[in-house]
Chains A and B, each alone.
Chain A
Amino acid sequence: MTELSDTAFWDDVRSLFHDATELPPAARTELLAAADPRVRAEVESLLAAHDEPTPFMEKSFWELIDSQQGERLAGALVGTYRIVRQLGHGGMGTVFLAEREDEFSHRVALKLVRGGEALVQRFRQERQILAALEHPNIAHLLDGGTTADGLPYLVMEYVEGTQIDAYCRGLPLPDKLRLFLQLCEAVQYAHRSLVIHRDIKPANVLVTAEGIPKLLDFGIAKLTSANALLDMRVDATATRLMTPQYASPEQLQGRAVTTASDVYSLGVLLFELLTDTRPFDAETRTPATEAPVPSSVANRRALRGDLDTIVLAALEVDPARRYGSVENLADDIRRYLSGHPVRARRATFGYRAAKFVRRNTLAVAAAVVIVAVTAVAFAATLHQKRIAERRFEEVRSLAHSVVFELHDAIAPLPGSTPARELLVRRALVYLDHLAEESSENTPLQLELCGAYLKIGDVQGLPYRPNLGDTAGATASYQKALDIAEAVTAREPKNAAALALLADAHDRSGFIEQRALRWAEALQQHETSRAIREALPPNPRRNIALAQTWTAIGDCRYIGRQVIPPRLMLGTARQAYEESLAVLAAQPAPPGLRRDALQEIGRAHQRLGGYLTGELENDLPLAIRHHDAALQALRERAALMPSDAVARRNLADQYVMKATAQNRMKDGAGALQSTDGALEVLRALAAADPKNLEAQHDLGFAFGERGVALSTLGRTAEAAEAFREAIAIADRLIAADPSNNEARRDLKRNQGMLDEVRRVKSER
């Protein structure tokens, strides 16, 4: 054989084989003669295998298992029966020809039924009833039990015969009808014994050599629930089942099965016997599908009229309109055979006429249209609702992921600002959609509230890396506030909602601070504090409360000249000390250590700043607080080395200390501090040039550096530092005209520069 790796060769083999198999064997010679001899030899040997007449791998491995299992059972004992051979294999199991162990002449059909415990139990209950059915046209149930392995089996009269549809083909019409009548009698008999067949179909009706029809498997359908329709409801998606062509509409719908169902199935069988066609296409049939007129299907004149009427009366979709019993159906067939008018006609005509009239009455038609439209609209609404619900969940999870996972993941990374900008735009679109649909849904509303806060932070929370979009942040915080207020109005004791409400007030306060509207800011923070103090304390809440206290201190201190006295509930120093006291009250667990350190650092830093100021000019104490702050913030930055915010806070602290040192005229110390700050800030600003907060701090540091240098008398260098600070303030104002703090810094640094110039020119 040729090398397996000779792909060109095998390609040729394949295409020649395909070409050859499209031709009948006799016509291949010419094609093969033209081919390369090696290729030809290979293909010919394949073709020889291909042309072998016996089946090969026609069935899948699974079909083999399923269909052939009985073959191995020959000779096996089931109860007192010895299996002779497999007769057939069907939905309910496998049927074997078997004989009594002690009585070889007595042949039976043994059905090995598939099914679990439930089946065995039902089987025991019903076996007696079934065994009592004795009718010449019913295959008698003889015995039954369970195998040693627990499989139920049934032993039935063995019927050797032909399936009724095959038997009837070519038979004269009256003969077919007489045969069918015998069948009806059998069913009628069973119905009188309160047994419904449930599965009347050609495969269950065998006609013996003597021409006697025998109905098989009476009541078995119920036992095994082999009722395809039931199965179809249970796992229609997973399994394609046998086609429910003979089932009644009520069976299709899984409703109660009555004797009328057998009438219907007999009608289908009769239809088929008369026309050699099945009334329904299994693929398209629904419970509402009406049977076609037999004579129109078969184009047989003999069927027209009474027989059409009889079949259609048996095949009425509504059981109430069907023949009331098999007896009635059989009666009409007998009337037809004897030339009497059938009973079904009048009623059916009246029914059809009435139907016709109804169909043509305008009012009724209009009503039908309205019903139909309503139904369609209702269906459409349901459909849309489902789509909406699904979409809603998708949006919710996406927004959640964007805001809480994606953003948090990239936020500490230097240089992430443009990516965060994009995230924010996307997330806001989703959030606004969600907010419109979220009313009264508390968990979702809280989620949304948190999301708006996050978004606002990204847009423009002061003192954190943000996009400088103060207006956007204000709007987002307002949305969060609205939602939190709505929820807490509804659920005044919902702690999560209250915490979010406080958060929203604080955020709004920070925005007010940044705009230098101190009274407004203070009010927001005081509101937040009141809410937080009402909640039972825990480490996380303590940290939040400390942050609020510090913010209050900031407002009281920096805004002291513009805040009305009635809003001043204490001094700035008291607020800062409250903050430290809250943090000291409960040590933070390791998971919250960073957050606690941040607040400790912040409070010390603010105290340091406050003590440096004109109110309580206690500079040595101020420096001690600044050092405490530096220590906390250094520890924190070390805990989170890749966190830009932590480093920024550290730089900020260096600047604060420098401010205090400048105040003490400690120019050298201040210069050392600003060097520390600039080192951290330059790295940050370089890594993320769009991060405006880093720029702001850089400007601040340059300003303090200028002061330190002028204290040291290095006026040229001082002027240079102020010019740097002014340039930064200019850029900040250009980026965000509402940045009043930058304007203030600009003014301050401009003044300092003028001062330095004057000093310089005086020399």
Chain B
Amino acid sequence: MSEVTRLLRDWSEGSIGARDELLALVYDPLRAIAERHLYREREGHTLQPTALVHELYLKLVDQRRVAWADRTHFFAVAAQVMRRILVDHARRRKSEKRGGAMIPVTIDAALDVAVAECLDVVELDAALEHLEKVYPQQARIVELRFYAGLTIDETAQALGISSATISREWTMARAWLRRAMSPQ
């Protein structure tokens, strides 16, 4: 049984420690795959985070041993990892001075772009943490939608909630985050 499989199972049985271990374990592979997807092996199609997570999943998890419930757990982990990758990057970059304009070939450069885009990732992370305390489910939805790139339907499937509910909670979560992030 792969390490990831074991951790997924432990986590689905309630071990938070297993989840944290999983997050750490999945960080680097996910980053590597994301990087490759961004600039190396993508002949012509737009980035599909779902495909990316699937690839990671296939790579790390012994599928025969993992139940579907664990699989949706995996998506949740991947979303959290992406969130962490993004925030880590942004924190690191905040203190660094960037060089001249380059063609982005690394995920760091690509992340710069996303970070530069109207959204302050560190701020978003803080707002999300706050939201999590009030509406944990909404925070999960944001992770899956924004960081893992899941559609409404995929999010619904991953969380076992109806698409209609996901859609409503997603709307409210965005309102919450927007309020939290808009200059007072």
Contact = CB atoms under 8 A, between A and B. Distances in A.
Q: Does chain A bind chain B?
A: yes
Interface stretch (B6-14, B16-24, B37-45): B37-45
Nearest to B151: A60
A119 to B, nearest CB: 6
Contact of B103 (A17, A73, A75, A224): A73
B112 to A, nearest CB: 7
B86 A238 contact: no
A295 interface: no
B75 interface: no
Nearest to B177: A57
B103 A148 contact: yes
A4 B134 CA distance: 6
B82 A50 contact: no
Contacts of B105: 149-151
Contact of A238 (B38, B54, B175): B54
B109 to A, nearest CB: 8
A21 interface: yes
Interface stretch (A110-118, A157-165, A358-366, A730-738): A110-118
B182 A49 contact: yes
B103 A92 contact: no
A66 B114 CA distance: 9
Q: Which of B54, B116, B145, B175 has the most CB of A within 10 A?
A: B175
Interface residues of B, dominant DSSP? helix
A50 B171 contact: yes
Contacts of A147: 103
A482 B148 CA distance: 58
A246 to B, nearest CB: 15
Contacts of B44: 91-93, 114-115, 224-228, 231
B124 to A, nearest CB: 8
B114 A68 contact: yes
B168 interface: yes
A10 B138 CA distance: 12
B43 A116 contact: yes
Interface string B106-139: 0000111110110100000000001001110000
Given A68-B114, A78-B103, A56 B178 contact: yes
B113 A61 contact: no
Interface stretch (A40-48, A135-143, A266-274, A447-455): A40-48
B179 interface: yes
A119 B43 contact: yes
Contact of B174 (A50, A68, A74, A235): A50
Contacts of B43: 114-116, 119, 224-226, 231
A457 to B, nearest CB: 30
A14 interface: yes
Given A62-B47, A147-B103, A225-B43, A14 B135 contact: yes
Nearest to B145: A60
Contact of A57 (B49, B104, B111, B146): B146
Nearest to A149: B105
Contact of A64 (B55, B114, B168): B114
Given A61-B149, A226-B44, A72 B112 contact: yes
B48 interface: yes
Contact of A91 (B38, B45, B52, B112): B45
A118 to B, nearest CB: 8
A63 interface: yes
Interface string B70-86: 00000000000010001
A338 interface: no
Interface string A210-243: 0000000000000011111001000100111110
B113 A68 contact: yes
A163 B154 CA distance: 33
B1 interface: no
A18 B172 contact: yes
B51 interface: yes
B142 to A, nearest CB: 8
Contact of A151 (B49, B103, B119): B103
B114 A65 contact: yes
Q: Which of B45, B55, B110 has the most CB of A within 10 A?
A: B45
A235 B148 CA distance: 20
Nearest to B180: A49
Contacts of B82: 61
Given A76-B102, A149-B103, A14 B113 contact: no
B149 A60 contact: yes
Contacts of A148: 103
Q: Which of A4, A14, A62, A74 has the most CB of B within 10 A?
A: A62
Contact of A21 (B113, B135, B171, B178): B171
A71 B110 CA distance: 11
Given A52-B182, A61-B149, A239-B48, 15 more contacts: A18-B172, A46-B175, A48-B179, A50-B171, A50-B175, A57-B177, A60-B147, A60-B148, A68-B114, A69-B113, A116-B40, A151-B39, A151-B105, A231-B43, A238-B48
24 contacts: A4-B133, A18-B168, A46-B175, A49-B178, A49-B182, A56-B174, A57-B178, A60-B149, A61-B82, A61-B146, A64-B114, A65-B47, A66-B47, A68-B114, A72-B113, A78-B103, A91-B46, A112-B103, A114-B39, A149-B103, A224-B43, A231-B43, A238-B54, A239-B48
Interface of B: 38-49, 51-52, 54-55, 82, 86, 101-105, 110-114, 116-117, 119, 130, 133-135, 142, 145-149, 168, 171-172, 174-179, 182
